[in-house]
Chains A and B, each alone.
Chain A
């Protein structure tokens, strides 16, 4: 371990560290433009120069490349250093007089005017080579390089021609200290043009390839979007040939938590009970074209409004129109796709209350006029009616009647048409923003999930409970319980209650230790069985086995579910379906038809 003195203080340095690394680690600021912690130092910008005194000799060195040797003394702000930096900044400012980052640094070091006339006042590139290094070392695409010599030296792809080698990762734009490289948004996919390339637009603002899904994510850890991640994309592109591209997140993560080799795992678990809590999906408002969803960016769904209004969202929680203005008038339309014969006939149950909340948020954040188009206000829960009253008092205009149609006017305004049933009049309001509060519906794969667990489904597609009033969390399959909206629309408090109930049912079953089996099972009196084995193959649960020794069939009453298929099939009529015996059913038939005889 090396000991060195920086600005009069003694520090320890690890093997292989540079002076810059040791200084920064200990909170000593040294300006840099061409340095990046995950890239090889290059010493191009010369800003990190420090004075090193070694064996009595003093010299100026670039701290990003100079090893933290034992016994040296480093001065980061000596007169010599400051003069040198000032000279460097003078040259940089002369090359790029209009780059704010350089202007600011120059001002800091007392360079107010460029000492030399600029060759091209629009020049932004300082030839620091960060983009070249990131493209070579991290992305391993080798698209960018230095082209030309002397005064013609610049950065670009080979022969300055468009190239398909660029994967449009944007790493160069991120590392560029002066913002000289720009990404172009293109719908045509990835290409490279003279201003350098591209990725696809994301709906609500770009994210990096590694991100925390949302502020409320559980667990709150970052995920890697393998479609966007340079490492995974280079792996795909080169079929695994280049398998160590980028990895910047792995290098920077001090906890060593980033693992690129993790794979999806399929776990097989033996469990005592299962809670199905697969939730819902939002109904797609494109299906009712009268609401013009997709025709204007200011027609949004309730969920999109939530993202817009979220403090962690792209606008930092401000409610803005697509052009960045604050809306002056907002219409909120209830029951889009709910209570509608053309979509879902049921009430989605949660929309009334979140619509009111959204009206409150719009009033609170923008002061805009709000029109609520509702059919009936279903403020059913505790405190809900009071909230409804409060929102009314905030000046929200309540229009009782379904919002029937949204029209995009030539000037971009939105005309909402509907009927005010209270006034008995047709109504048209021109607004800036329309929020469509769409129905919630069963998940698209509910059919497969139902088949997997043997669940019934109601006509609306939700999973069926065992009894609508008395057994709301159980299903007809023992040990499988339902929780939440997968069983039917419900709001957060009701979902929590439902889920707690399902959890207690499951725990109750597990805690019991023994399982009560239904007495409704089939029974074969051995002395009467002819051993024909017809019943054997009929049993879907393989509960009937054949005793070769005694030549009779036997029912395992723990496996038998009591369907009675074998009872009806027995050619000798000797299998007893307990609680549904032939005699019992015959007597029922006789009793029901008694008066007719």
Chain B
């Protein structure tokens, strides 16, 4: 049992026009890719609310991937710039919460880059596998001080 490799669960938010199409092409082309990534299609990476990512981690995901069109190539002109802004902030929040920043990735994969998609999924899966399970309740929740502890700590300090 202990010999068995840990298989991470990863949620991928893919934009309809670029990365989702790339993943589709990879599938149609019968390219081999890890089955660890479950895909949720959104029209634009700009639709991805940071709470989706937090939600995914809380529900048991070990890694989250957001992928969209290359900067300048957005089907909606500039949605992916908004994504970039939000996800940069999110990275900092994740660290504060005790989630390794390597568990979350923002990538640009155009519809023609099926091989890049395959390479990305392989790489990211390996990365998350090496990090091991996230164990939300064990690491994230345990790391946060409870309300009582918080009050105690303040009292001690005084």
Contacts of A459 in B (CB 8 A): 112-113
Q: Are A564 and B46 in contact, CB atoms less than 8 angstroms apart?
A: yes
Task: Return 8 A-B CB contacts under 8 Å, by A number.
Answer: A540-B78, A563-B79, A565-B47, A568-B82, A577-B43, A593-B9, A593-B59, A596-B59
Interface string of A576-597 (1 = CB under 8 A from B): 0100101001101110110011
CB-CB under 8 A from A588, the residues of chain B are 40
Report the bound CA distance from A580 to B45 in whole Å.
Answer: 12
| Cβ of A313 under 8 Å from chain B | no
Cα distance, A458 to B112, chains bound together (Å): 5
- The reply to whether the CB of A538 lies closer than 8 angstroms to some CB of chain B is yes
| B60 in contact with A569 (CB, 8 Å) | no
Cβ contact within 8 Å between B40 and A520: no
Given A580-B47, A585-B40, A563–B56 Cβ distance below 8 Å?
Answer: no
> Which residues of the other chain, B, contact A569 by a CB distance below 8 angstroms?
82
Find B73's partner among A456, A565, A568, A590 (CB 8 Å cutoff). A456
- B128 located at the interface, meaning its Cβ lies under 8 Å from any Cβ of chain A in the complex: no
Distance in Å: Cβ of B106 to nearest Cβ of chain A: 14
Question: Is chain B's binding surface mostly helix, strand, loop or mixed?
Answer: loop
* Chain A residues near B124 (CB-CB < 8 A): none
Contacts of A457 in B (CB 8 A): 112
Question: A-B contact count, CB below 8 Å?
Answer: 97
Pairwise interchain contact B75-A454, C-beta atoms closer than 8 A: yes
Q: List 7 additional contacts besides A593-B60, A596-B9; criterion CB under 8 Å.
A: A456-B17, A459-B112, A538-B82, A564-B79, A582-B49, A589-B52, A596-B60
Q: Is B6 an interface residue (CB 8 A)?
A: no
B122-137 CB contacts (< 8 Å) to partner A? none
Query: What is the CA–CA distance of A186 and B72 in the complex, to the nearest angstrom?
Result: 48
Q: In the complex, A459→B60 CA distance in Å? A: 36
- With A589-B59, A592-B38 in contact, do A562 and B43 touch (Cβ < 8 Å)? yes
* A203 on the B face (CB < 8 A): no
**Chain A hits for B51, CB < 8 A:** 582
**Chain A, interface residues (CB within 8 Å), range:** 20 to 34
With A540-B77, A585-B52, A588-B40 as given contacts, are A593 and B61 in contact (CB-CB < 8 Å)?
yes
Known interface pairs A585-B40, A592-B40; A565-B82 also in contact (CB < 8 Å): yes
When A and B form their complex, which 7 residue pairs have the shortest distance between CB atoms, in order from nearest?
A564-B47, A565-B46, A563-B76, A596-B60, A563-B44, A540-B77, A593-B59
Alpha-carbon gap, A561 to B25, bound state (A): 24
List B93-122 residues whose CB lies under 8 Å from chain A: 110-113
**B75 adjacent to A564 (CB under 8 Å):** no
A203-226 residues with Cβ-Cβ distance < 8 A to B are: none
Please state if A593 and B42 are interface contacts (CB–CB under 8 Å).
Answer: no
Chain B minimum-CB-distance residue to A566:
B46
Q: Would you call B4 an interface residue if the criterion is a C-beta within 8 Å of the partner chain's C-beta atoms?
A: no
In the bound complex, how far is the Cα of B17 from the Cα of A144, in angstroms? 68
Q: Which residue of B lies closest to A569 (CB)?
A: B82
Q: Name the distance in Å between B96's Cβ and chain A's nearest Cβ.
A: 20
Contacts of B52 in A (CB 8 A): 585-586, 589
Binary contact readout A312-334 vs B (1 if CB under 8 angstroms, 0 otherwise): 00000000000000000000000
Q: Collect the chain A residues with CB atoms within 8 Å of residue B75's CB.
A: 454, 476, 563
- What separation, in Å, do the CA atoms of A586 and B42 have in the docked complex? 12
Collect the chain A residues with CB atoms within 8 Å of residue B55's CB.
586, 589
Residues of B with C-beta under 8 A to A589: 11, 40, 52, 55-56, 59, 61
- CB within 8 Å for A564 and B112 given contacts A540-B76, A540-B77: no
- B contact residues around A563 at 8 Å (CB): 43-44, 46-47, 75-76, 79
> Which of A459, A568, A569 neighbours the largest number of chain B CB atoms within 10 Å of its CB?
A568
Flag if A564 contacts B38 (CB, 8 Å).
no
- Asked if B32 is at the interface (CB within 8 A of a chain A CB), the reply is no
A567 with B49, Cβ < 8 A, contacts A459-B113, A580-B43 known: yes
Given contacts A476-B75, A589-B11, A589-B56, contact A567 B47 (CB under 8 A): yes
Q: Which residue of A lies closest to B76 (CB)?
A: A563
Q: Is A464 an interface residue (CB 8 A)?
A: yes
A410 within 8 A of B: no
Please give, as numbers and ranges, the residues of chain B lying within 8 Å of A451 by CB-CB distance: 72
Let me know if B40 and A590 touch, CB within 8 A: no
Cβ contacts under 8 Å, A597 to chain B: 59-60
Contacts A468-B28, A540-B78 hold; do A568 and B60 have CB atoms under 8 A apart?
no
Distance, CA A572 to CA B111, complexed state (A): 33
Q: Give CA–CA (A593, B62) in the complex, Å.
A: 10
Complex CA–CA separation, A580 to B86 (angstroms) = 19
Enumerate chain A residues within 8 angstroms of B110, measured Cβ to Cβ: 456
* Of B43, B56, B78, B113, the contact of A520 (CB 8 Å cutoff): B43
Contact B112 A565 (CB under 8 A): no
Report the separation of the CA atoms of residues A468 and B79 in the bound assembly, to the nearest whole angstrom: 25
Q: Mark B21-57, 1 if CB is under 8 A from A, else 0.
A: 0000100100000000010101110111111100110
Residue numbers in A under 8 Å from B11 (CB-CB): 589, 592-593
